[in-house]
Amino acid sequence: MSNNIYLKKGLDLPINGVAAQNTKKVIVPDVVAIKPTDFRGLVPKLLVREGDKVLAGTPVLADKMSQNILFASPVSGTVAEVVRGEKRKLLEVRIKADAEQEYVDFGTKKVADMSAEQIKEALLAAGLWPALTQRPYGIIANPEVKPKAIFVSAFNTAPLAANPEYALRDEFEHIQTAVNALGKLTDGGVHFSLNSATYSGTPFHKIENVIPHVFTGKHPAGNVGVQIHHISPIRKGETVWTVSLLMLAAIGKLFNTGKYDLRRKIAVTGPKAINPAYVEGYPGIAVKDVAEFFNAAEDLRFVSGDVLTGTNIGKDGYLGFFDNQITILEEGNKYELLGWAKPVRCSQFSASRTYFSWLTPKKKYDMDTNLHGGPRAFVVNDVYGKVLPMDIYPVYLLKACLANDIDKMEKFGIYEVLEEDLALCEYVDPSKIYIQQIITDGIALMLKEMC
């Protein structure tokens, strides 16, 4: 029997550029990048040098703090460049891909006959352990810890997000294998959350050996952090793991085929995407690999992920490890005469009723990156509470983070949130506060002082 949870708060952004459900091309990448910055708290140790030959699944990086956690190459090829930043911080390992892919053979395995320790060792050896995220803090899961439970969100309500029923329609068997494997790593079971709007049409409601939940509501109903809050909130001293459907598919393929295979369907979306659709590729592909989807002469922003929580990677950037979406937006560097004071702004969406967008609820907008103002003092009102379906006090949490007050950060919910959970608060904030950055800094303080 499903556990049905209805969320009254939230907001679906009416933004143009959803990807049509067809795969426009299969990308044969020239160069892919492995980015340590995709993993919070990682202190990377480089295991390869420029010129080294690698296969898909060859370890490229290790975690200095836990050197059995490896990060593997998604493609076979040659290490072309090691990119470093200030103080020699490792930013990227770029690999020139072969035309024909070769894989490390990890051997097929029958999950039913494996112990929890054997499953853990297989994931660590193949470089797929980083697919598991640990909460609190959103760091790589600690293999020495047994989590209270494992949580999976089988739907995504983020703006223009890839449709899992299309993007993962051929991965059902692998996802089931992964669920069977991960279920052995916890006594609390695998909690699997589905969307009531698509429940009858999705194959994922047939996944076995899970604890099902059905959510109804607007974004951020698809955020796993929001789901955890309503299923089993994280208390001080507790640990849970989360994993996406995308990563479940990769884990299942490891056991079923013996390959480290991160191929995925990637949604190219956004108001400035030309004929938005899907491509098939790898994490770490370059923006230039989807050049036919945009006009290079325009001033554009390229986001790995969605518009609320994605990373600005620029025209020379690379897709993130956890992402299967590229969003293309116009840079908001234009100024409007009178701005917000205009009596009529039919081309602008308002989350409140400042403009008349509420009269056309089905209209989609060509949103850009313009902030329409700058940061100013907190305005005390209920604007956050209208879009955050969590029983926390976001203003008090943010002020505690700004004050570096760990006791109050704990009191007001730092263990339960990541940046993505408060992204809508940042979007609707009249004060233009960089809320996600404040949460990032607060988590960094907790990791430094408490871990």
Contacts 24+ apart (CB under 8 A), 46-52: 46/82, 46/90, 46/93, 48/79, 48/93, 49/79, 49/82, 50/79, 50/80, 50/81, 50/82, 51/78, 51/79, 52/78, 52/79
- Verify that 253 and 398 share a domain, yes or no: no
Establish if 219 belongs to a structural domain. Answer: yes
Residue 165 lies in a domain: yes
Which of 369, 289, 372 is closest to 331 using CA atoms? 369
Q: Is the pLDDT of residue 29 over 80?
A: yes
Residue 451 clears pLDDT 70, i.e. is over it: yes
Domain that holds residue 50: 3-257
Looking at the domain assignment, is residue 438 inside a domain?
A: yes
Q: What is the mean pLDDT of residues 33-55?
A: 97
Residue 125 lies in a domain: yes
pTM across the whole model:
0.95
Q: What's the pLDDT band for 371 if we cut at 50, 70, 90?
A: confident
- What span, in angstroms and rounded, lies between the C-alpha atoms of 186 and 190? 8
Amino acid 266: pLDDT: 98
pLDDT number for residue 341? 64
**Two tokens, residue 28:** 């044969």
Q: What tens digit of pLDDT does each residue of 434-446 get?
A: 999 999 999 999 9
Same-domain status, 253 and 399: no
Domains held by the chain: number? 2
Structural domain includes residue 222:
yes
Q: 239 and 90, same structural domain? A: yes
| Amino acid letter for position 94 | R
Asked if residue 286 has pLDDT above 80, the reply is: yes
Confidence of residue 112 (pLDDT cuts 50, 70, 90): very high
Q: Does residue 157 come out as left (phi exceeding 0), alpha (psi in the -120 to 50 range) or beta? A: alpha
Output the pLDDT for position 83. 97
| Range from 170-184, 304-318, 339-353 carrying the lowest mean pLDDT | 339-353
- In this structure, is residue 386 part of a structural domain? no
Asked whether residue 1 carries a pLDDT value surpassing 50, the answer given is no
| Mean pLDDT, rounded, of the chain | 94
Question: Given 257, 286, 318, which residue is the final one in a domain?
Answer: 257
Give 155-179 pLDDT, tens digit per residue: 999 999 999 999 999 999 999 999 9
The answer to whether the beta carbons of residues 47 and 60 sit under 8 Å apart is: yes
